C-alpha cells in the first residue's frame, strides 16, 4: 500500500485482486464498509479479471472516454463481493499519464480511493496525507495536486448517467 499521485488527486493504492490489501485500506481510511472503491486499470483487458462483460457499444463508449479523468461504474462478477460490497458494480478508471499506466502494468489493477479518512478533505500533498496516515504507509511525493476528483458516471445497457461531476464535464463525455 502507498499514497501516490493519480491522474486526479492523491490516492491510497493497493492491489485490487488482494482481499487482504483491500480490507487493510478500508480499515486504514476508516471507510464505510458498504462503499466500493475506484479501481485503476492499465487497459480494457483488465476488466476481464473482474468479470465485466461489455457489449460492443459499451466498449466503443469506454474507448471514447478513456484514458482520462473519468471513473465508470460497471456491472461485475458477484464473486468480487469484497470489492463491490454487495452492489455488483465497481468504478474503474483508465488514467491518461503513461507513467501511471506503466505502473499498473507492473502491479496489476489497484484500488485507489482518495488519500483521506472517510468524510475528510482529500489530501492535496504528501504532508496532508501524512497527517491522516502517519508512518503506516509509503508515500510518493509529486508536489501539490490541483485537479478535481474524477468525474463518476455509470454505464448500464449502453446508457451513460452522471453520478458526480468532477475533473471532466459530462457535456464533453457525451
- pTM recorded for the entire structure: 0.94
Indicate the domain borders of the chain.
2-173
Residue for grid cell 489530501 = 123
Per-residue confidence band for 174, with pLDDT thresholds at 50, 70 and 90: low
Are the C-beta atoms of 1 and 33 separated by less than 8 Å? no
Are the C-beta atoms of 153 and 89 separated by less than 8 Å? no
DSSP, collapsed to helix, strand or coil, labels residue 21 as: helix
Per-residue confidence band for 171, with pLDDT thresholds at 50, 70 and 90: confident
pLDDT for 172: 80
The lowest-confidence range among 82-86, 146-150, 151-155 is 146-150
- Cell numbers found for residue 18: 488482494
Residue 140 CA to residue 68 CA, distance in Å, equals: 21
CATH code that applies to domain 2-173: 3.90.870.10
**What percentage of the chain carries pLDDT values higher than 70?**
99
How high does pLDDT run on average in the chain? 94
Amino acid at each position: 500500500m502507498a499514497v501516490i499521485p493519480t491522474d486526479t488527486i492523491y490516492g491510497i493504492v493497493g492491489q485490487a485482486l488482494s482481499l487482504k490489501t483491500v480490507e487493510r485500506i478500508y480499515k486504514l481510511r476508516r471507510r464505510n464498509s458498504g462503499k466500493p472503491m475506484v479501481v485503476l486499470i492499465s487497459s480494457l483487458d483488465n476488466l476481464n479479471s473482474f468479470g465485466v462483460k461489455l457489449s460492443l457499444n459499451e466498449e466503443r463508449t469506454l474507448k471514447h472516454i478513456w484514458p482520462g479523468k473519468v471513473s465508470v461504474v460497471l456491472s461485475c462478477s458477484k464473486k468480487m463481493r469484497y470489492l463491490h460490497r454487495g452492489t455488483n458494480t465497481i468504478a474503474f478508471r483508465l488514467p491518461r499519464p503513461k507513467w501511471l499506466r506503466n505502473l499498473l502494468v507492473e502491479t496489476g489493477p489497484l484500488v485507489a480511493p482518495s488519500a483521506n479518512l472517510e468524510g475528510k478533505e482529500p489530501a492535496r500533498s504528501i504532508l496532508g496525507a501524512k497527517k491522516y496516515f502517519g508512518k503506516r504507509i509509503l508515500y510518493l511525493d509529486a508536489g501539490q495536486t490541483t485537479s478535481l476528483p474524477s468525474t463518476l458516471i455509470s454505464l448500464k445497457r449502453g446508457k451513460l448517467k452522471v453520478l458526480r461531476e468532477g475533473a471532466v464535464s459530462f457535456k464533453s463525455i457525451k
